[in-house]
């Protein structure tokens, strides 16, 4: 998933980041942009699903607890849609109760990260 470099960012791969906490979105956005990615943001699950109709990201990062549509439902929608079914998804959440990660993984998440997270963990995932 390594990005290509471009002075205008036009050919940089896009990552969709969806979290209702704007400071978390900004932190992720800054880190991803430093790594060479274009970042599209959404602040609730409904907005994430709308963005997926017009944007073709290489990865989606989803919070679980969000207004309107939670991250699990967004993940279900991603996996049901043939156009996005194979899209890598990282679930990013403060939930750390036993079994939360299993639910996300059973629904098809590729990785589960608990907030606060280390940006180096994200970098390692993207470099795979």
pLDDT of 124 = 85
The backbone torsions φ and ψ at residue 31, rounded to the nearest 5 degrees and listed phi first, read -65, -45
Note whether 18 and 63 are within 8 A (CB): yes
> What's the rounded Cα separation, in Å, for the pair 128 and 120?
13
d(CA 77, CA 58): 16
Per-residue pLDDT reduced to its tens digit, 25-70: 999 999 999 999 999 999 999 999 999 999 999 999 999 989 999 9
pTM of the model: 0.87
């Amino acid at each position: 998933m390594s990005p290509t470099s471009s002075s205008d960012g036009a050919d940089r791969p896009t990552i969709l980041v969806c979290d209702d906490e704007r400071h978390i979105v900004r932190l992720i956005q800054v880190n991803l942009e430093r790594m060479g990615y274009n970042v599209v943001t959404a602040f609730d699950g409904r907005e994430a699903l709308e963005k997926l109709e017009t944007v073709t990201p290489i990865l989606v990062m989803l919070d679980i607890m969000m207004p309107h549509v939670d991250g699990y439902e967004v993940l279900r929608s991603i996996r049901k849609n043939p156009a996005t079914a194979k899209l890598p998804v990282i679930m990013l959440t403060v939930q750390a109760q036993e079994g939360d990660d299993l639910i996300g993984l059973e629904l098809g998440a590729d990785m589960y990260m608990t907030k606060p997270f280390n940006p180096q963990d994200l970098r390692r995932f993207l470099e795979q």
